[in-house]
Amino acid sequence: MSILVGKKAPNFSAPAVINGSEIVQNFSLDQFLGKQHVIFYFYPADFTFVCPTEIIAFQRKMEEFEKRNVAVIGCSTDSEFSHWKWLQTEQNDGGIKGVKYPLVADSAKTIAENYGVLAGEYNYNDEGEASFEGAPVAYRGLFLIDKEGIVRHQVVNDLPLGRSVDETLRMVDALQFFEKNGEVCPADWHSGEEAMKATFDGVADYLGSHK
């Protein structure tokens, strides 16, 4: 798995479904540069069991993300047509109707590969024939990207393990607090609690250069 923290988020241009029903081509994170923080997360597949709980949980907390000026974007290795169909399916029938934030289609699996979350890889035999080992889907990777396009936080779960939306919001709060105040956030810090000043000069200089 790639460690992307501190690096530029890999760029892409891909189809996506926005506003719950509109298919667009050439969706990119570039539109958020200088404007918004981004939560970009991967899930394994449409029409599965754990995935809709996460996707719907993010939608239910969209007001909290919007308060913080954060864009939420999901992505899987399904096609845009699969996304669209799932978005038209009622939640009582296993669908995710009502989700409005963008879902990116990574059917070529290149986005998942570039973010280091593809749950498998291609191998070639002596005859040059390709085979795929592992699962041709994405692990549950999540990336917090700042307004400059730099990854500031990442977490990757195995396929059976759902993520915490509240923890994602906590990390957004911690990053935005640091960006505003220059103070670092200790373990289990929550908005409204005291933070810490970096007292070691080298650490302070380093943190200041990454604000």
**Contact predicate 175/37, CB 8 Å:** yes
Q: Hey, which residues does 139 pair with through a beta bridge? A: none
Matching residue, tokens 């399904």: 78
Question: CA-CA distance, 84 to 81, in Å (whole number)?
Answer: 5
Catalytic, 51? Answer yes
Q: Give which of 181, 188, 169 is closest to 207, Cα–Cα.
A: 181
Alpha carbons 81 and 180: distance in angstroms, whole number: 41
Q: Check 51, 72, 99, 111 and give the catalytic one.
A: 51
Give the number of C-alpha atoms closer than 13 A to the C-alpha of residue 207, restricted to the C-beta side.
18
Which residues does the annotation mark as catalytic?
Answer: 51
